[in-house]
Structure 1
Amino acid sequence: MTGAARFRAWLVAAIAVTLLGGVVLLVGQPTTGPGPAAQHSIGGPTGLADRAATGQGAPTPPETRLTEIQTLLRDRATAVLHRDRAAFLATVDPSASQQFRDAQTAMFDNLANVPLSVWSYDVDPTDVTAVPAKAFPADELWAPGVQLDYALDAVDRDPTSKPMGYLFARHGAKWYLASDTLTTRQTWRGPWDFGPVTALRTTSGLVLAHPDNNDLATRISRELDSDVAAVNAVWDQPWPHEVAVLVPDSEDELKAFVGPEFAVDSIAAVAVADRVDNSSHTAVGQRVVLNPDNADKMPVASLRVVLRHEMTHIAARGYTVDGTAMWMLEGFANYVGYRDSGIPLSLGAADVADLVKDGTPPTDLPANGDFAASGEKINLAYDEAWTLTSFIADTFGQHALVTLYLRIAGGPPGADVDVALHDVLGVDKAGLVAGWQDYLRRNI
């Protein structure tokens, strides 16, 4: 394999086979849910709560039980923020399994270097999971809905919420956290659940990794500020201008961040979010997640393209409606990623270049299904999207490309692309395709 082919192969692994990486995934919780009033309310359907409280003796009155659990979690959160190890471990049931107690100790220690501005918990007493009486030895058991709210300092403007499958146990008059695996709920795992966390802070963001990935994390941190600046040079809409990058240390950790259904072997990076509000153009819990197995092998130029691509999705996510044209979403991210990279279209978009050389340039815009295909079809879709958005920027101006993105990606899904093209560029789809073909013949 020649040097150029080897380079492009890594670029394809990073960009073209990112699958849904550009369509920022919503992970960890649904996009909507109970608000603070519901999460903190006292009482609720007491029959359900009492049936879920199992064990020896009379159950604690619902109002008292909720207050005591809220106090326990408040103590636990305060201990994390103030780095009080003894107070944190005092919330863990001494009768819990050694594995759980060790995991809680390790999690607290692993959080030591993570810059947090928020760490708190919300309890929903109306969302109770029934627990078998013999699931854990205690006078009483209770498994209400619990959300962890946390924010990374100087990165998260608002805290993000994650589900915790907590089981609480009462021994005498005192409640403890007994488990996060014994109920039917799933517990979200953060980087600190997988090992010691290193935090590399830059002017424009934060890289969270583990000691084994320190070299890759250092490379990313050196890129972070210039990559955010590169996004700012194109994207002129408000966004936080700071990015958190996660570098997991295993496939299990990677899947915890991007979802178990994701084909993690084929990605180099994914942009994820927990909640998106298109009306306010905001997104909560946004992260760029790197796959170290792929990203660690990339040359600097490839890593730079990948990071800028994913950061573009983060910048534009609040303005992007799910289900809109993928050629605009992925093409725009690739345009920003490749801009000023020195990588020519003939190298970065080799599949399109081959078509042009064969006298068969693209005749239509790539369809959304093409970006969920495999092999050469998905490679071609990304190549087409990048060259198409490059044509728009070079011909009509970069501001016109951003304006067109806002019209098309801002939805609603299924909106008439021809109308947007006419309003912004003064051409219809046929005219756009014809101009794109001419651009390819002149530039590849």
Structure 2
Amino acid sequence: MLPAHRLVRALPLLLCVLLTGCAARPADTAGPDVRRAVADWSRTPPAALSGLPLDDWAYEVTSVRRDGVRALVRARLRYRLAGYDTAPGGSERELALERDGGGSDGGGGAWSVRSDRPAPDALPELWDQGPVSVVRGAHSLVLGGSGQSREALEAIAAEADRAVPAASAAWPRPWAGRVVVLVPASLDRMAQLLGRPADAYRGMGAVTTGRVGAGPGPADRVVINPEGYAELGGDGRRIILTHEVTHVATRAATSALTPLWLSEGFADWAAYRGTSTTPAQGAPELARAVRRGEVPGELPRAEDFAFGGDPQALARSYEGAWLACRLIAERWGEAALVGLYERAAKEPLATALPQSVGVDPAGLTKDWREALREELGQGLR
């Protein structure tokens, strides 16, 4: 994730009314007719998804509750974006069904789905927020939420198409070489997709979601904050998307062991790589602190990257992480930085650093602090 100030999913759902004073039948006692209706529903993805390259669209029923002519189904939706997801992703859904032409005892006509929405404890999909627009780029698939103009989505696709080769140049390891970008209608809609308060993403341009480690799975999604992204200039948008696409590229080589300063710093290093951006230009908050004599005593910790606190302190953490990765690449070589990233996902940093760079954490910290004083200690007022 990268703060925007650094450069700075619905089918229209019918209301499902459940009878609350009646005794519902236990799970899975409604017979095959309800499940058959869900299977029929599975054969046709929602109209809101027209144009998406969908594959493996299916609902797996996990529970059924019936009250007369109504039924409530819990199901796991599995689907795959063809050409992007190497395995289906999942979404917990709640489907409300009614029996057409039946009597109050539930006998009679056929069951049909009346609504399909996220389960109470599940996150929504982009299409739950309205019709989805689709723009395909050379290396990207951009999915826009309700209200996003095609012009805006095409511009994001063009920027993502530039970010993919930049990330590949910095990360010379096999990866898919393509990216899925979600552009919800607003910051609030973005927060709904991610399951956190909007304030957690205010001031950010984009975030990347996905699971770390190797193996087949759904592709990472880069989720744009349309409000923060709109505040960026051309350079800022390039930096933001290259940073996030680099997270996608390095995901298979990232684990819970990977230090956040290395993950975030590498993504920034990839974004600034090949540009003329100086340390003072790319790290203004940290530069101001260094000139006040406030040189950080250690590399940024994981908690230093938490959002919702002091934005200047957060910026200094990202900037310091970038400059640590920049130092490694310039002093020991880009291959050493890439090798460190790979090793740090498999073994502690105290082991990975000497093996890939030749110094221990204390030595790297000392060299990093000296570089901060030399490169940021003067030039800005």
Same fold, judged at TM 0.5 (above): yes
SS in structure 1 opposite 2:222? strand
Give per-residue Cα distances to partners, 1:341-381, cap 9 Å, x unaligned: 33221111012223444455333211112112422211111
What runs of 5+ residues in structure 2 fail to find an aligned partner?
Answer: 9-22, 103-107, 377-381
Change in CA separation of 1:236 and 1:72 when aligned onto 2, cut-off 3 Å: farther
CA 1:74–1:294 in 2, change beyond 3 Å: closer, same or farther?
same
2:57: which partner in 1? 119
Q: Distance in 2 between matches of 1:114 and 1:217?
A: 14
Deviation at 1:163, TM superposition (A): 0.8
Unpaired stretches in structure 1, ≥5 consecutive residues: 1-10, 18-47, 54-58, 81-107
1:419 maps to amino acid: T
CA contact (8 A) 1:14 1:295 kept: no
Q: Which moved more, 1:250-259 or 1:329-338?
A: 250-259
Give the 5 Å matches for 1:412-423: 415=348, 417-423=349-355
Q: Which residue is 1:265 aligned to?
A: 202
Letter in 2 for 1:114: L
SS at match of 2:43: helix
1:15 deviates by 4.7
TM-score for the superposition, normalised by structure 2: 0.82
What residue in structure 1 maps to residue 14 of structure 2?
A: none
Give the superposed CA RMSD.
2.8
Does residue 190 (structure 1) correspond to residue 125 (structure 2)? The answer is yes
Q: Is the 8 A contact 2:3 2:205 kept in 1?
A: no
Cα distance between partner residues in 2 of 1:335 and 1:284? 26
Equivalent position amino acid for 1:388 in 2: A
The CA distance in 2 between the partners of 1:245 and 1:269, in whole Å, is 10
Check 1:333–1:282 CA distance in 2 against 1; reply closer, same or farther (3 A cut).
farther
Answer yes or no: is 1:364 the counterpart of 2:293. Answer: no
What is aligned with 1:78? 43
Whether the 8 Å contact between 1:140 and 1:169 is mirrored in structure 2 is: yes
Superposed counterparts of 1:30-429, under 5 Å: 50-52=25-27, 60-61=30-31, 65=32, 68-80=33-45, 108-125=46-63, 133=67, 138-139=68-69, 141-143=71-73, 145-170=74-99, 171=102, 172-180=108-116, 185-186=120-121, 188-210=123-145, 211-261=147-197, 263-273=200-210, 275-276=211-212, 278=213, 280-322=214-256, 324-358=258-292, 360-372=294-306, 373-408=309-344, 410-411=345-346, 415=348, 417-429=349-361
Instruction: Give the letter for the 1:377 counterpart.
Output: A
Give the deviation of 1:146 after TM superposition.
Answer: 0.7
Hey, what does 1:435 align to over in structure 2?
367
% same residue? 31
Q: Greater helix percent: which structure?
A: 1
Residues 259, 188 of structure 1: alpha-carbon distance in 2 compared, 3 angstrom cutoff: closer
What's the TM-score once normalised by structure 1's chain length? Answer: 0.71
Supply the AA of the counterpart residue of 2:110: K
2:26 aligned counterpart, secondary structure: helix
- Please state how far the C-alpha of 1:52 moved relative to its aligned partner: 4.3
Rounded to whole Å, the distance in 1 between the matches of 2:207 and 2:356 is 30
